[in-house]
Amino acid sequence: MAEISTDIHRAINLLQAGEVVAIPTETVYGLAGNAIDPQVVSKIFEIKERPSFDPLIMHSDRLSKIESYLADIPEPLAHLLSIYSPGPLTVLLKRKSSVPDITCSGLEKVAVRIPSHPVTRALLEAIDFPLAAPSANPFGYISPTTAQHVQDQLGDKIRMILDGEASAIGLESTVIDWRDEMIVILRQGAVTAEDIRSHGYEVQLQASSSNPSSPGMLSSHYAPRTALSLDPLPAVLDHYDTEDIAYLGFRQNVQELPQDQQYLLSPSGNMQEAAQRLFALMRQLDQGPHKIIVCQLLPEEGLGRAINDKLRRAAHGSGI
Ligand code: TXA
Ligand code: MG
């Protein structure tokens, strides 16, 4: 099992020695290692069982520190970074050859993020290389939002999980690119399309496809092992016994099921709270006795859109 610890110095030593360490961020926990060392990056891919065509995000405490790895930064992305960084925004930037191919799957752009979590900022400030850090889950599963989530799935493959309590945002960062004079959102997150539009940019959501340019758009991502359905409850009740169903709602319980089979993301209807609790509740229900999790979508606005996107991907292929 990995050691769960708040000892930043130990994490720094391990990272400097070329080890992979799980780190807390405000979005989700990451599986971190030196982004500039191909051997370390290849360890990350191995531990996660991630296909090599799915590129990693390079994390640093500030953009100026990683300038030598980057070619020109388009003005709109620099502007959005100045507003939303440190924070849950990842931008695609043209890279120089000093970024190893394996880190960005040989693509001409590398994903860059400046996280805001204080523990990880202190860690990044102390090292002179950027960290490659995908979410610290086995490929295709729900992202971890606590140290224990990481321990449960990857604890036997890494030495240390740096503990920074539960991730405050709970959804992975928004990933954006600048193409044809437009901001393209490749992955929805806490920085929403509405946020970006409010600064005067045209925004396009890239539709999911089987050959995505951001592989996080794979339609079956984030899936629990238990079937997850977005079908109306009465339709599910035609196919399953009542006791086999768990209900994951937004703010209100439903009449058709006993109370103790129902879980609410935010009884007060707060979308931030819903996002923060989503992955932990999905994990909990996945481990429970139920055969199917029936989810209710949130209103299609702001953060609700990002949450619904996760729910739709998790439900992919498991409808009744
Ligand atoms: O919130 C987050 O971003 C977390 C924390 C740990 O920082 N990290 C994370 O990394 O979610 P990961 O590897 O699980 O997801 C990164 C996403 C993937 O969908 C990947 O395909 C996309 O970003 N991505 C990375 N580099 C890319 C590139 N050069 N071009 C297109 N998509 C890219
Ligand atoms: Mg991930």
Closest ligand to 145 CA? Answer: 1
Q: Whose Cα sits closest to atom 19 in ligand 1? A: 216
Closest ligand to 218 CA? Answer: 1
Task: Count Cβ atoms within 10 A of the Cβ of residue 303 and give its class: 0-12 exposed, 13-18 middle, 19 or more buried.
Answer: buried
- Rounded to whole angstroms, how far apart are CA atoms 259 and 281? 16
Residues 6+ apart with CB under 8 A from 131: 15, 23, 30, 32, 33, 34, 35, 58, 59, 60, 124
pLDDT digits (tens, 9 = 90+) for 219-230: 556 678 899 999
- Rounded to whole angstroms, how far apart are CA atoms 279 and 283? 6
Rounded to the nearest angstrom, the distance between the alpha carbon of 56 and the centre of ligand 1 is 5
The stretch 287-298 carries a mean pLDDT of: 96
pLDDT digits (tens, 9 = 90+) for 176-194: 999 999 999 999 999 999 9
Whether the pLDDT of residue 252 is over 90: the answer is: yes
Rounded to the nearest angstrom, the distance between the alpha carbon of 44 and the centre of ligand 2 is 12
Q: Whose Cα sits closest to atom 10 in ligand 1? A: 134
| Longest CA pairwise span in the chain (Å) | 60
Q: Where does ligand 1 bind, in terms of residues with CB under 6 Å?
A: 25, 27-28, 30, 54-57, 90, 92, 104, 107, 109-111, 113, 115, 133-135, 172-173, 175, 186-187, 213-216
Alpha-carbon separation of residue 26 from 53, 169, 173, 307 (angstroms): 26, 6, 9, 16
pLDDT score, position 319: 63
Q: Which of 58, 92, 214 to mutate to test the pocket of ligand 1 (most atoms within 8 A of CB)?
A: 214
Rounded to the nearest angstrom, the distance between the alpha carbon of 239 and the centre of ligand 1 is 37
Closest CA to 279 of 155, 135, 180, 163: 135
For residue 57, how far is the Cα from the chain centroid?
11
Percent of the chain beyond pLDDT 70? 94
pLDDT digits (tens, 9 = 90+) for 41-81: 999 999 999 999 999 999 999 999 999 999 989 999 999 99
Rounded to the nearest angstrom, the distance between the alpha carbon of 110 and the centre of ligand 1 is 10
Whether the pLDDT of residue 217 is over 60: the answer is: no
Rounded to the nearest angstrom, the distance between the alpha carbon of 254 and the centre of ligand 2 is 32
Rounded to the nearest angstrom, the distance between the alpha carbon of 129 and the centre of ligand 2 is 21
pLDDT score, position 210: 47
Paired tokens of 284: 């909990």
Closest CA to 244 of 232, 252, 236: 236
Question: Residue 196: left if φ>0, alpha if ψ -120 to 50, beta else—which one?
Answer: alpha
Closest ligand to 95 CA? Answer: 1
Q: Which of 20, 108, 172 to mutate to test the pocket of ligand 1 (most atoms within 8 A of CB)?
A: 172
Q: Where are the beta strands (DSSP E) in 172-261?
A: 174-179, 182-187, 203-205, 227-229, 245-249
User: Which residue(s) pair with 227 in the sheet?
Assistant: 292
Rounded to the nearest angstrom, the distance between the alpha carbon of 29 and the centre of ligand 1 is 12
Q: Helix-strand-coil percent breakdown of the chain, rounded to 5?
A: 35, 20, 45
- Angle, CA of 240, 245 and 247, to the nearest 5°: 135
Closest ligand 1 atom to Cα of 90: 3
